[in-house]
């Protein structure tokens, strides 16, 4: 399975890639903003996307909406500092499958990844 990690922070992308490796997902593409994420999904079949909220050019929530509007069913987990309940609800309504608040424990993200993939039948 191939995953896409979307975050404007290169350090956070490395952390998330490490978390994916802990969940036995080692084939990973990266995007630095929502625009890059939407373009990447157009050309590649992903099994999972980890999406930040606050990024330049296009917010993560808008990228989720664009990916869903294009008909892609890939599981998406928002990984963000946006901790307000209304933000979580907005993300889920937009099409995110789960939500992780930064900072997070590596075990938490592995658990959420496995949970989302199990629900998606992956």
pLDDT at 8: 97
**Regions in the chain scoring below 70 on pLDDT:** 122
* pTM metric for this prediction: 0.96
pLDDT reported for residue 100? 94
The percent of the chain in helix, strand and coil, each rounded to the nearest 5, is 45, 20, 35
Whole-angstrom Cα distance, residue 60 to residue 62? 5
Task: Identify the bridge partners of residue 78 per DSSP, sorted by sequence position.
Answer: 51, 99
Distances, alpha carbon 102 to alpha carbons 39, 78, 80, 81, in Å: 25, 10, 5, 5
**pLDDT for position 55:** 97
pLDDT of residue 84: 92
Domain hosting residue 65, numbered range: 2-119
DSSP letters for 67-117: HHHTT----EEEEES---HHHHHHHHHHT-SEEEESS--HHHHHHHHHHHH
CATH number at residue 108: 3.40.50.2300
Name the 3-class secondary structure at 56.
coil
Taking the C-alpha atoms of residue 48 and residue 16, their distance in angstroms, rounded to an integer, is: 12
Are 33 and 44 in contact by the 8 Å Cβ rule? The answer is no
pLDDT reported for residue 85? 93
Q: How many domains does the chain have?
A: 1
């Amino acid at each position: 399975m191939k995953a896409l990690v979307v975050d404007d922070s290169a350090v956070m992308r490395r952390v998330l890639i490490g978390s994916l490796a802990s969940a036995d997902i080692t084939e990973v593409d990266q995007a630095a903003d929502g625009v890059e994420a939407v373009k990447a999904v157009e050309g590649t079949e992903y099994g999972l996307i980890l999406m930040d909220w606050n990024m330049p050019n296009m917010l993560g929530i808008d990228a989720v909406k664009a990916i869903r509007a294009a008909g892609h069913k890939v599981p998406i987990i928002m990984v963000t500092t946006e901790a307000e309940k209304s933000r979580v609800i907005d993300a889920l309504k937009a099409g995110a499958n789960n939500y992780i608040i930064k900072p997070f424990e590596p075990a938490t993200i592995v658990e959420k990844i496995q949970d989302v993939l199990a629900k998606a039948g992956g």
